[in-house]
Chain A
Amino acid sequence: MAAKKLKVWALVALVLIVAAVTACSKDNGGKASNASDSPSASSSPSAGSSPAETAPDGPTGKYDPPIEVTTVRSINAGVKFQEGDSLDSNIWTKDFESALGIKVTNKWKVSDQQYQNKMAVTMASGDLPDFMLVDAQQFQVLVQADTIADLTDVYAKYASDLTKKSIEEGGGLRMKAATVNGKIMGIPADGGGRDDAHSIYIRTDWLQNLGLEPPKTMDDVIKIALAFTKDDPDKNGKNDTYGLSLDMSLFNGWSGLEGFFNGYHAYPFNPTKGTGTNLNFIKGADGKAVWADTQPEVKTALGKLQELFKAGAIYPEFSVIDGVKSGELVTSGKVGMAYGAFWVPTWPINNMKKDVPGFDWGIYPIVSADDKPAMAQSTGGLPSKFYVVSKKSKHPEAPFILLNRVVDKLYGNFDIQFHTVVKGDVTYGLHMYPPINGSFAEKNQEAASAVQEALQTNNTSQLNEEQKQYYDQVQQYNAGDLGMWASYKLWAPGGVFDVLGQYKKNNLIFQSAYTGNPTPTMIAKGPSLRDEQVRTFTAIIMGSQPVDYFDEWVAKWMESGGKDILDEVNASGQVQ
């Protein structure tokens, strides 16, 4: 009996200890994050009085004693780390600590798929890190809530010239989007670029097998798609190929329909899994903005897609597969043509030429259905992401000090060891590691023309280190290394940037006429309007609704919120 009693008490003790330990560790966690909330809470009172301590007084300088700033990160599955490295500790974090006296702590890290939701939860909890990356909508919410810092003065004092160039390049569209009521509330993380405009990717070996020429008009595109479907382009004797790649996203940098629509001078954009608030507007003859997606040209293009689907040129199950799956169909040699952005050579078709002898892809500019040249649409012009600084942050200038360092290492005085390390077969993209990054809208375009010039003259002296690297990769490909195919298709003549360069030179890029943030009705009704649109477009393409259903949908869109959106957009004063 006594022994039994002892056992019971032992069990109780064990349970309580476990509970206590869990509670304690929770406590510690709480303390740790408190400490990081106010990195220099303990040191700041003395900061003013002690002369031995330093802090940057402009774009450069070092904190002594070191400060700690917190942030949060998203992890991209494509980013690889060498042994011992992580987002928490790598060449960048070490450099920040030694050169700037800034220790960057990641409060959490999640995959980029979940980042947006995790960020939403963090905003809800109110426990904001010192600086963080948010999307356009979250940016707006944070501005309204008045919890992020006004960066106007800090920007003027601490941003380096190069940082300023990166933010203001391209007509200052990025800066405009980050400015609210005359105050700079965030650092635009992307935008300004036009490289997301679509090109046509076509299997050249299939073209050759069937004796076809690259497309000159939309009729050619349709002819090729049908031939790829019916004429057994892979010569395996089976009717198992499709002409045009498509998946449930409808609009996407990979196998989206933007380029196809553009061929008919239609500019719709509303991806299935998008926010439903990033919309394209066209300025009509009367100066008023109209929504691109409801224009009659969209209907024409949908009719053509319906014909393609009926003829079997589009994968019959496209409505249930995502981009990864449509990528698999293409890499397994089932689909011969796709519309896509500049990065398609790096994914998903990057290894096809290496893996299967005979496979090859050509990249062609989008074509028009008539004698008017086609304009390729770009939705990357406006920033979709911003770095913002918490109002509670003790060092609102620290993100700029970091950003100055990053743009200097990656663009100003390019340092390859901070950009890419190749070990064996694996390429480590170190430039993806920093918690804050700048970009130059035309950097890739400039690199491509520099590389091409060097290829022609055999003179590499004009290239910076990054461009030299691209040049070397192209030369490696020319020497027979098929693993460098993606680089070749990006930088060499006949590659993506040749196509994009043509668009840019001839002013053939369409951008939305509205440059403002999402309007209240867009936020409230955008998602459900998006669902209705995606459903309608999918149904029309699959032929379960006639093409004329488009008109019905337009009327319904106007009624159920579209009119309000147009009114808000036209009243915003941001239609350009």
Chain B
Amino acid sequence: MIRRNWKIELPLHLMLVPGLVVVLLFSYGPMAGVVIAFQNYIPVKGIFGSEWVGLEHFRYVYGLPETMTVLRNTITISSMKIVSGLLAPLVTALLLNEIGKRIFKRTVQTVIYMPHFLSWVIMAGILLDVLSPTTGIVNRFMEWLGLSKVFFLGNADWFPYVLVGTDTLKEFGFGTIVYLAAITGINPALYEAAVLDGANRWKQTLHVTLPGIVPIIVLLLTLSLGNVLNAGFDQVYNLYSPSVYSTGDILDTYVYRIGLGNGQYGVATAVGLFKSVISLVLISVSYFLAYRLANYRIF
């Protein structure tokens, strides 16, 4: 019996090989490069020829005046993104689920999914015009409502919210589809039972739909916690300017400006390693919590 299973499964295992090779080659192989974080790395001398400097790069980064601000920005922005990136698609999915008209539902789904495919370079060009205080449509509208104008991209107080808002706008369509798929997977018998018990639409949502997609919510949340230090390089790099560095500069853009642009590989790697360690800790903790609280396991 076991031999027979093996025969059937062998091809499937073989199919894994190319993927495995790619992962080993491009994900595990480069990990050896983290030693650069402890070296005064000179590219052409290579890893073996460069001088070892211990923790100097970490001390250097810690000593930079902006590091703490940048770290705080990163965590603030990505936390807000995680929350709004969870709520916006969830609410949209629940609302769309209530709509009977298939065509309308599909259209909305597609339209909100579209921005996901635009690159941040293009989005930034559009946003620069849309959010402009002199000519932008958003400020025109606010003016019409009697509100004062806001320099969204140039005002340090507003900038983080602009980042969160535009990121959500761009990505919530994608999340919505994931949640909609999860909702489709709920057993219709549960709804029938709820109706028999006298539950209205709201109660059905509360007691059938939501519990039904909790595993997916927990999964996405767990995964996104691992990204707490990735606040979105593409987006910030294309939208920020010197006047919003104080609240909009994140770890990645900061390292890019001081590091790679000036050939400071050791410093850039040190920051990368720091990010990875924090992410590993966060994702482990959140996974443990998810298991304990929601009894949810990925593996």
Q: Can you sample 15 A-B contacts with CB below 8 Å?
A: A8-B12, A11-B15, A123-B263, A125-B43, A141-B263, A142-B44, A145-B42, A248-B241, A275-B262, A316-B134, A317-B133, A320-B154, A535-B242, A535-B245, A535-B246
With both chains docked as a complex, state the minimum distance between the C-beta of B11 and any C-beta of chain A, in angstroms.
5
User: In the complex, A319→B264 CA distance in Å?
Assistant: 27
Residues of B within 8 A of A147 (CB): 44-45
Any chain A CB within 8 A of the CB of B29?
no
User: Are B151 and A15 touching (Cβ within 8 A)?
Assistant: no
Given A12-B15, A19-B21: A535 in contact with B243 (beta carbons within 8 A)? yes
With both chains docked as a complex, state the minimum distance between the C-beta of B254 and any C-beta of chain A, in angstroms.
9
Q: How does the 8 Å CB contact mask read for B122-135 relative to A, with 1 for contact and 0 for none?
A: 00000010001110
Residues of B within 8 A of A389 (CB): none
User: Are B258 and A319 touching (Cβ within 8 A)?
Assistant: no
Any chain A CB within 8 A of the CB of B234?
no
Interface positions, chain B 130-155, Cβ under 8 Å from A, are 132-134, 151, 153-154
Interface positions, chain B 250-282, Cβ under 8 Å from A, are 257-258, 260-265
Any chain B CB within 8 A of the CB of A420?
no
User: Are A538 and B242 touching (Cβ within 8 A)?
Assistant: yes
B258 to chain A: closest residue by CB: A527
Interface positions, chain A 96-139, Cβ under 8 Å from B, are 116-117, 120, 123-126, 128, 137-138
When the two chains form the complex, which single residue of A8, A120, A320, A528 contacts B258, counting CB atoms closer than 8 Å? A528
User: In the complex, A46→B245 CA distance in Å?
Assistant: 61
* B interface, size bucket: 35 or more
Q: Please list the residues of chain A having a beta carbon within 8 angstroms of any beta carbon in chain B.
A: 8-9, 11-12, 15-16, 18-19, 116-117, 120, 123-126, 128, 137-138, 141-142, 144-145, 147, 248, 272, 275-277, 316-317, 319-321, 325, 523-524, 526-528, 531, 534-535, 538-539, 542, 544, 560
User: Are B128 and A325 touching (Cβ within 8 A)?
Assistant: yes
User: In the complex, A544→B155 CA distance in Å?
Assistant: 10
Residues of A within 8 A of B21 (CB): 19
Given A123-B43, A145-B42, A145-B44: A527 in contact with B241 (beta carbons within 8 A)? no
User: Are A16 and B246 touching (Cβ within 8 A)?
Assistant: no
Given contacts A141-B43, A141-B263, 4 further A-B contacts (CB under 8 A): A11-B11, A11-B15, A128-B44, A275-B262
Residues of A within 8 A of B11 (CB): 8-9, 11-12
B64 to chain A: closest residue by CB: A528
Any chain A CB within 8 A of the CB of B100?
no
Interface positions, chain B 52-106, Cβ under 8 Å from A, are 60, 64-66
User: In the complex, A11→B133 CA distance in Å?
Assistant: 57
Count of inter-chain pairs, beta carbons less than 8 A:
107
Any chain A CB within 8 A of the CB of B198?
no
Residues of B within 8 A of A8 (CB): 11-12
User: In the complex, A12→B128 CA distance in Å?
Assistant: 49
Given A145-B44, A527-B262, A535-B245: A317 in contact with B134 (beta carbons within 8 A)? yes
User: Are A539 and B262 touching (Cβ within 8 A)?
Assistant: no
Residues of B within 8 A of A539 (CB): 243
User: In the complex, A534→B243 CA distance in Å?
Assistant: 8
User: In the complex, A116→B257 CA distance in Å?
Assistant: 13
User: In the complex, A276→B60 CA distance in Å?
Assistant: 18
User: Are A534 and B134 touching (Cβ within 8 A)?
Assistant: no
Given A128-B44, A277-B262, A527-B258: A272 in contact with B17 (beta carbons within 8 A)? no
User: Are A276 and B262 touching (Cβ within 8 A)?
Assistant: yes
Any chain A CB within 8 A of the CB of B188?
no
Any chain A CB within 8 A of the CB of B189?
no
User: Are B242 and A145 touching (Cβ within 8 A)?
Assistant: no
User: In the complex, A316→B133 CA distance in Å?
Assistant: 9
When the two chains form the complex, which single residue of A117, A142, A534 contacts B261, counting CB atoms closer than 8 Å? A117
With both chains docked as a complex, state the minimum distance between the C-beta of A272 and any C-beta of chain B, in angstroms.
6
User: In the complex, A531→B15 CA distance in Å?
Assistant: 50
